[in-house]
Chains A and B, each alone.
Chain A
């Protein structure tokens, strides 16, 4: 690694001292396959002397063998790790490259240029301070350029380098350079991108990369490397701002020490500073700033520390410690932008996990307002978000959370969404603001509560949730169970899928998105009835795990019994009590569960009824016995 500095050979200690004080810059390069992105990254690695002889020898050999530059060094080959994968058909995503100069250490997020582009570029950009947007001088500003720029502005990167590349292919024309520069700036200002620096270059020939090129005598600005070394960024991770620290871990080695560990994501802190804990709102003062290197007089954004406070108050992981001067907001309803990253579409109403800072809560999208076409920036009405789509929506969380708008603070306003069944990260989002209604609608404290309702009826309230295919026998069995409960003197109510679709849910159809909303409403109604002390029987196909799980979580533990009416589809079709299968076979019904709309069979349910071996009366009997044994039919 032949760093140019002579200091290495002459005075290594002085060199090391100088290098201790290097800063760190993270950037992303955006461009399509043919814009010369790989060549540029390869060139930067080469020019910063980060290549060893064995790697260089390999590069020379590969350039001769498979290179595209007639035997000259093909820098793109240095970063082709991803190309190999592409051939194997494996998911391609972000690769990180490293190089450093005497002034700075750099981390480059390298994302491939086509498929999965939105997801990958968004991921790579989330930690970047600067974006380099590459333009092929022969082609000018393309749709893809607009898409990349929109994503850059969306993720909030404040510094853009417009690299007008392949200038050697257009005779280093200043006129072409100027035309592209003007056209780009006009577009960029529309989407709110500022701080744009344009550099004419050829990554392939090395023009204006580390040395000003004789081919562009009309250009008097910095070279790309100089610009990257000198650019002053209010970097993504090290913000000035106001003090914020999400509590990661309560540090409790013994009874005499109770500290709160975390990384400061904004501002600075000193012993004696007043702080507020959110969302609880309790206040205290900082006693000590503890680190493995001893106590600090002050800690700043970007440092991982442990704070102790002057008061013993209840603080746990997920809380935010903030300066009392400028508080984050606390809410449970928001407007947000969501970028969807999963093959399974995002359905409004479906519950997901949301991780924001160090807190994980349940979230669902209450309204999907529109998606943004990333190529034209048009707003398009949709009912769900597919992979790589960007949507603006309202969402609600099951708990109050403290947050700042994303554009003010990435760390307290950015979140990921996690699928509750697969545990995969399926989306990312940015909070805009709290919805007024969440701040103004308060939960009314009611004196006559569930216990009181239940006591006067002399029963324990609960939900019996019947799930199964159309024609499986759900309603028949639920009816029999209700009759038996009624004869036992229980106050019951049967919510039947068909009946509810005539009223409350008559605005809903049978798409996946509507099915989710159908179940969400019914689960909420069931919850209200349980609160009213009622025993509720719900007989709905309810095809998805997620929504059954959501219904279960709406009530308390022990108040939900899931009953899987297990009837194979061919048996259900033979029975066809409502003639629906016949209609479907004639092509008159679409989105039929079990045929062209999925049914996710439950795995861990309280009761499973196999209707191929049990008659409905026997099934009802089995359910009553189960409930009796579980103690559900006793007094409250």
Chain B
């Protein structure tokens, strides 16, 4: 009898192999977070002893935590990965940032548009993403193989029934597929798997004394000198960690003493708020995740 983690692992590996067997140019989106870490670990397992038969793609926004970028480069070197880093030139040209442009435009230009550009430029027809169905209401009905139109839009009419273990990876010219091998994992499954397999994660998940400012009740880490200080605002040192990782000005920290993996799992299990609450982009407007998905956000 397999345990729930063994079954989830086997399912994810099965999904990845289906893609590689049936599709021409797959790529794995690598966001450096804990879900990406698990997805990458599973991918290495799925194709062993062969090397990963697809590249990794990181859509950089230039506003990620420094430690994330360091971690990314160390992992790529250690595992000998073919890593593509894509930065939207429009974002650079216009100097898009969350302060003057707001989180909605910031996310759209750097992430949504950046991702579409990268997929088009390299001609990838399938992209693996680490999204999970338990993350958010609108994800609960997402397919494992999610068809996108030539404009990368998510059209509910294009979505196909998924029965048994049979995934339909065929597509028409111009269409692409986003594939979510971690669909059936929960946040707890992810942490448990990381713990069991000693999977390396970005140290920002662990509590440490870091420089922060408090804004509207949210702790924002002062990761570099681009964070504008309001009048009279003074950065302070607090022992904090992050439950999810994104762009540093848009990711709220929590005060925590949990500086080991077991301690953060413990803290999560005893936690009273959900994981995405620290993400400022979900709160932009009602149903905002749903809307972003239709526009092509992962």
| Residue pair B49, A23 in contact (C-beta under 8 Å) | no
Partner of A303 from the list B2, B138, B166 (CB cut-off 8 Å) is B2
Asked if B245 lies at the interface with its beta carbon under 8 angstroms from chain A, I say: no
> How many angstroms from the CA of A428 to the CA of B17 in the assembled complex?
22
Closest to B136 in A: A81
Interface positions, chain B 143-166, Cβ under 8 Å from A, are: 156-166
A248: nearest residue on chain B (CB-CB)? Answer: B17
Check if A82 is an interface residue, CB within 8 A of chain B.
yes
Q: Which residues of A contact B66 (CB under 8 A)?
A: none
Nearest A-chain residue to B163, judged by Cβ: A126
* Interfacial chain B residues near A3, Cβ < 8 Å: 269
Q: How far is the CA of A257 from the CA of B47 in the complex (A)?
A: 13
Return the chain B residue nearest A9 by Cβ: B270
> What class of interface size applies to chain B in its complex with A?
35 or more
Which chain B residues numbered 10 to 40 have a C-beta less than 8 Å away from chain A?
10-11, 13-14, 17-18, 20-21
Cα(A3)–Cα(B271), bound, Å: 10
Of A119, A237, A249, A253, which is within 8 A of B7 by CB?
A: A237
Asked if B119 is an interface residue, CB under 8 A from chain A, the answer is: no
Q: Are A54 and B157 in contact (CB under 8 A)?
A: no
Q: Which residues of B contact A82 (CB under 8 A)?
A: 141
Q: Which residues of chain A are near B226, meaning CB under 8 Å?
A: none
* Set of chain B residues within 8 Å of A341, measured between Cβ atoms: 161
- Is the pair A302, B2 in contact by a Cβ cutoff of 8 Å? yes
A21 at the interface (CB under 8 A from B): yes
B219 to chain A, nearest CB (A): 17
Q: Which chain A residues border B271 with CB–CB below 8 Å?
A: 1, 52
> Does residue B266 face the partner (Cβ distance < 8 Å to A)?
yes
Min CB distance A320 to B, Å, is 14
Looking at the complex, which one of A12, A97, A306, A355 makes contact with B168 (CB distance below 8 Å)? Answer: A355
Residues of B within 8 A of A302 (CB): 2, 6-7, 10
Known contacts A1-B271, A304-B17, A304-B46; decide if A91 and B168 are in contact (CB<8 Å): no
Complex Cα distance A238/B7, Å?
9
Check B1–A23 contact: CB distance below 8 A: yes
Q: Are B18 and A2 in contact (CB under 8 A)?
A: no
The reply on B134 being an interface residue by CB < 8 A is: yes
Query: 1/0 per residue B166-196: CB within 8 Å of A?
Result: 1010111000000000011010110010011
Cross-chain contact of A238 among B2, B140, B273, B274 (Cβ < 8 A): B2
- Which residue of B6, B49, B158, B189 contacts A253 across the interface (Cβ within 8 Å)? B49
List A contacts of B262 (CB < 8 A): 12-13, 16
Interface residue A53 (Cβ < 8 Å from any Cβ of B): yes
- Interface of A: prevailing SS: mixed
Q: A48 vs B137: C-alpha distance in the bound complex, in angstroms?
A: 18
Other-chain residue from B11, B137, B192 in contact with A19 (beta carbon distance below 8 A): B192
Q: Contact between B266 and A9 (Cβ–Cβ < 8 Å)?
A: yes
Task: Give the contacting residue for A123; candidates B1, B11, B163; CB below 8 A.
Answer: B163
In the assembly, what is the distance between CA of A82 and CA of B50, in Å? 42
Q: Are A303 and B4 in contact (CB under 8 A)?
A: no
Beyond A96-B133, A123-B161, A304-B10, whether A105 also contacts B50 by CB under 8 A is no
A24 to B11, CA, bound (A): 12
B172 to A422, Cβ gap below 8 A? yes
In the docked arrangement, what's the CA distance between A16 and B172, Å?
45
Given contacts A1-B271, A90-B156, A416-B166, contact A263 B188 (CB under 8 A): no
**Is A117 an interface residue, CB under 8 A from the partner?**
no
User: Does B9 touch A at the CB level, under 8 Å?
Assistant: yes
Asked if B82 is at the interface (CB within 8 A of a chain A CB), the reply is no
Interface string of A322-361 (1 = CB under 8 A from B): 0000000000000000000100000000000101101000
Q: Which of B6, B20, B49, B189 contacts A257 (CB 8 A)?
A: B49
Q: How far is the CA of A356 from the CA of B164 in the complex (A)?
A: 10
Are A55 and B274 within 8 A (Cβ)?
A: yes
A441 close to chain B: CB less than 8 A: no
A635: interface (CB < 8 Å): no
| B133: chain A residues within 8 A (beta carbon) | 96, 98
**Bound CA–CA A423/B147 (angstroms):** 11
- With A91-B156, A97-B140 as contacts: A12 and B134 at CB distance below 8 Å: no
**B-side contacts of A358, CB under 8 Å:** 18, 21
Contact yes or no, A425 B161, CB < 8 A? yes
Partner of B171, one of A96, A290, A292, A423: A423
Instruction: Point out which of B7, B46, B164, B186 has the most chain A C-beta atoms below 10 A from its C-beta.
Output: B164
A410-433 with Cβ < 8 A to chain B? 410-411, 414-416, 418, 422-425, 428
The residue on B at minimum CB distance from A416 is B166
CB pair B4–A22 under 8 Å, yes or no, is yes
CB neighbours of B46 from chain A (8 A): 261, 292, 304
Q: Provided the pairs A100-B186, A423-B171 are in contact, do residues A81 and B45 lie with their beta carbons within 8 angstroms? A: no
Q: Does A310 contact B (CB under 8 A)?
A: no
B268 at the interface (CB under 8 A from A): yes
Q: Is B287 an interface residue (CB 8 A)?
A: yes
**Most A C-beta atoms less than 10 A away, residue of B140, B262, B268:** B140
A93 touches B141 (CB 8 A): yes
Among the interface residues B166, B171, B263, which one has the most CB atoms of the partner chain A within 10 A? Answer: B166
Least CB separation from A419: chain B residue:
B170
Residue of A nearest to B48 (CB): A292
State in angstroms the CA–CA spacing of A262 and B47 once bound together: 11
Does the CB pair B48–A16 fall under 8 Å?
Answer: no
CA distance A19 to B134 in the complex (A): 19
Check if B277 is an interface residue, CB within 8 A of chain A: yes
Which residue of A13, A20, A356 is within 8 Å of B3 (Cβ)?
Answer: A20
Least CB distance from B218 to A in Å reads 14
A contact residues around B196 at 8 Å (CB): 20
How far does the alpha carbon of A292 sit from the alpha carbon of B48 in the complex, in Å?
6
Closest B residue to A91 by CB, please name it: B156
Partner of B18, one of A1, A238, A248, A306: A248
The answer to whether B211 has its CB under 8 Å from any CB of chain A is no
Q: Which residues of A lie under 8 Å from residue B51 when comparing CB positions?
A: 253
5 shortest A-B CB distances, which residue pairs? A292-B45, A24-B4, A304-B13, A253-B50, A126-B163
Of the A-B pairs whose beta carbons lie under 8 Å apart in the complex, a sample of 10, sorted by A's number, is: A1-B271, A52-B272, A85-B156, A95-B140, A96-B183, A104-B4, A261-B46, A263-B14, A303-B6, A425-B161
Given A2-B272, A52-B274; 7 other pairs, CB 8 A cutoff: A12-B263, A21-B3, A23-B1, A24-B3, A24-B4, A53-B272, A302-B6
